[in-house]
Amino acid sequence: MTLFVTAICLILVSAFLAPCTRKGSTFWDTCSLACGLGGTLLGLVATLVALAHPDGAVLSHPWPGVGGLFVLRLDGLSAVFLLPAFLICGAGLLYGSGYWPCQDKPASSAWLRFFYPLLGAAIGILLTAGNGLVFLFAWETMALCGYFLIVTERDQEEVQQAGFLYLAATHTATLALFALFALLGDHAVLNTLPAVGSLDGTTPLAAALFLLALFGFGFKAGIMPLHIWLPKAHAAAPSHVSALLSGVMIKMGIYGLVRTASFFHGIPNWWGWTILVLGMLSSILGVVFAIAQHDIKRLLAYHSVENIGIILLGLGVALLGRSYGVAAMVVLGLAGALLHVINHGLFKALLFLSAGSVIHATGTRELNRYGGLLRPMPLTGLCFLGGAIAICGLPPLNGFVSEWLIYLGLFQGSQPLAASLPSVLLAAPALALTGGLALLCFAKVFGLTFLGTPRSELGAAHEAPRTMLIGMGVLLAACLAIGLLPRMVYPLLRAATLAWLPTAAPPAIALAALAPAGLITLAALLLLLLLGFFTLKLRPRQAFPSVPTWGCGYARPLPRAQYTASSFAELITGLFGWFLRPQTQEVKPQGEFPVQARFATHTPDLVLDLGITPFCSLLATAAAWLRHRLQHGIVGLYLLYPALTLCILLILAL
């Protein structure tokens, strides 16, 4: 545990070097970067050491002035979340030094240098928090750091709006969490969290706790009706911040849910069904909204909603397994969910970082202005392609493994052992639909961005600098490693499953027996061999001239004659039009020689733009009207208000 604390301290030093030193100084910038990288590396090592020696992984100190204990505890469940957090934080720090160089933007670079590692350290503490006090403290630090990182470019109105929305959402979530911990009681807040399986899940109090956790943590995780802050915040933040927010921070919501669920025994079955249905809703709607986007980072943000949905599917399967006593479902569902937490963190961070490289090179987030970027930036293209394959759940990358585990968990519901659960199988087509739509979506993004010819003057698009490439390369390598050798994460998942299950429960079945990892490795290697074979086989014998992409037989193909983001997605947005409600503005060409014509589409967020915003503006109008009535300037009547209140209270009291 000393190692872990050292790592956190090193990351904090990295954060506090920024405000304490001269802005724009390359030397101190490098120092801060080195500290941050060292801290994250040490954190990775410390987590692995703690996994190997679980009995030493507790730290408890009295916390003077607060009246409680400062407890840190690192178990298998924390480790699953800590490993990707440290990795992504380190990769992001490295990437950031090329993406947001301190020579060009000294002020905002120092700003990022301060809040970025601070967010990492807060997450490290949050994941090891042993009582409610430390948890809420770290949670609030994390939430505020997230806000400050989102508003890095705070002179833009869009960024201010995104920051405000994020702040409102995160504080609503924190309110629910305060209620949650208040209900858990003094001991949980001041001393130590309830032991695994120590609370009865069938009481009304347990139901209240579950619903509060679902709301508070679900807001942070971005479960479908509560995802409102995600698209704007992820789009407004710098790319490596989006990577950390989407890859790590929203997973804290999942961590909270999983941790809260571990407190209970006798979990009622409606918990599992609720999570399963919310997971289906989030995954399908998330990807459908993603397909309709034109802004590359908004699109990736909606994919986070989708992947949170997939994680929830796994968690739902695990909870149902607990309720109905099917051990295989518990093991497979939880392993799938947790592995998807790791995987989504890795590939989504990779995607955000490579999208950041594209934005860095072209200066725009509009998909409709990209095109043909594979030529100037092949390595970024490769990284993006890797991330895209992983997020679609295709072998040989890591996304496949976790989705495969969740599929297996869902199919366990149809085994004769679990006779009462055939309806769980309905979630499998939902997962398949999600995978298919994700594939379509990334075919769109990759095709529009990297293939074809440039759709607008992009200036001198250039390959990303070396630090950025290394940052992405590390993540791509991790994705590939999990995809090729899933066996190596099994011990980690097993430790997490054991930490999640109450000791009284029957011993967990070995994951390897249920999901043979060797087969995946074999299949992935075969696939790679096949790929290599065809690449060699189809290699051109002589050098081809470099020409623009095939133009459908036109003699002089125009860049504007290519597919756009909306035209590519038209089929799906049309099919889901009853739900997406895309808005189109159209001026049709008229006459033989049409002078002007234009066409634009925009897909608003259903919940935010068509639900919450109108409701809140209505509320504001009503409040303004009421204030106008109440505040009329007649002093005598002002006196009447407290008197009436007093009278009503007295009448109620008698």
Partner 1 sequence: MNTPPNLILLFVILFNFFILGTSRLNTCIRSVALQGALLSLLPLFLHTLTFHTYLLAVGAFVLKGLLMPWLLFRAIRQVKIRREVEPRIGYIPTLLLGALTTAGAFIFGDRLPLLPEHLHSLFIPAALSTLAAGFLMLITRRKAIAQVLGYLMFENGIFIFGTLLAETMPFLVEMGVLLDMLVAIFVMGIVMHHINREFSTLNTEQLSLLRE
**Contact residues for partner 1 (CB under 8 A)?**
631-637, 639-640, 643, 650, 654
Mention every residue, 6+ apart, whose C-beta is less than 8 A from residue 31. 17, 21
Mention every residue, 6+ apart, whose C-beta is less than 8 A from residue 463. 361, 376, 377, 378, 379, 380, 469
Q: How far apart are CA 325 and CA 321, in angstroms?
A: 5
Shortest distance, position 654 Cβ to partner 1, whole Å: 6
532 C-beta neighbours (distance < 10 Å), count: 10
Q: How far is CA 348 from CA 4, 302, 344, 475, 569, in A?
A: 26, 11, 5, 10, 21
Shortest distance, position 561 Cβ to partner 1, whole Å: 59
Instruction: Between 416 and 633, name the residue whose CB sits nearer to partner 1.
Output: 633
| DSSP summary character for residue 515 | S
Q: How far apart are CA 380 and CA 454, in angstroms?
A: 16
Report residue 431 CA to chain centroid gap.
Answer: 18
Tokens 């014998």 belong to 541
Tokens 């309806």 belong to 423
Shortest distance, position 629 Cβ to partner 1, whole Å: 12
Q: How far apart are CA 361 and CA 372, in angstroms?
A: 13
Nearest to 386 by CA among 373, 398, 377: 398
Mention every residue, 6+ apart, whose C-beta is less than 8 A from residue 648. none
Shortest distance, position 635 Cβ to partner 1, whole Å: 5
Q: How far apart are CA 577 and CA 583, in angstroms?
A: 10
Q: Are 315 and 333 in contact (CB under 8 A)?
A: yes
Instruction: Between 61 and 628, name the residue whose CB sits nearer to partner 1.
Output: 628
Report residue 391 CA to chain centroid gap.
Answer: 12
Instruction: Between 547 and 654, name the residue whose CB sits nearer to partner 1.
Output: 654
User: What amino acid is encoded at 196 in this protein?
Assistant: V
Tokens 């943000």 belong to 301
Instruction: Between 546 and 631, name the residue whose CB sits nearer to partner 1.
Output: 631
Q: How far apart are CA 585 and CA 263, in angstroms?
A: 52
| DSSP summary character for residue 220 | H
Alpha helices per DSSP H over 421-516? 427-450, 466-484, 490-500, 511-514
Q: How far apart are CA 321 and CA 559, in angstroms?
A: 54
Q: Are 87 and 474 in contact (CB under 8 A)?
A: yes
Radius of gyration of the chain (CA): 26
Shortest distance, position 617 Cβ to partner 1, whole Å: 21
The dihedral formed by the CA atoms of 398, 404, 406 and 411, expressed in degrees to the nearest 10: 180
Instruction: Between 513 and 651, name the residue whose CB sits nearer to partner 1.
Output: 651
577 C-beta neighbours (distance < 10 Å), count: 13
| DSSP summary character for residue 516 | -
Helix (H, G, I), strand (E, B) or coil at 73: strand
Residues in the chain: 654
Q: How far apart are CA 255 and CA 261, in angstroms?
A: 10
Q: Are 559 and 455 in contact (CB under 8 A)?
A: yes
Q: Are 229 and 165 in contact (CB under 8 A)?
A: yes
Reported as half-sphere exposure (CB side, CA atoms, 13 A), residue 86 has a value of: 25
Shortest distance, position 84 Cβ to partner 1, whole Å: 52
Instruction: Between 549 and 621, name the residue whose CB sits nearer to partner 1.
Output: 621
Shortest distance, position 619 Cβ to partner 1, whole Å: 20
Nearest to 306 by CA among 259, 351, 262: 351
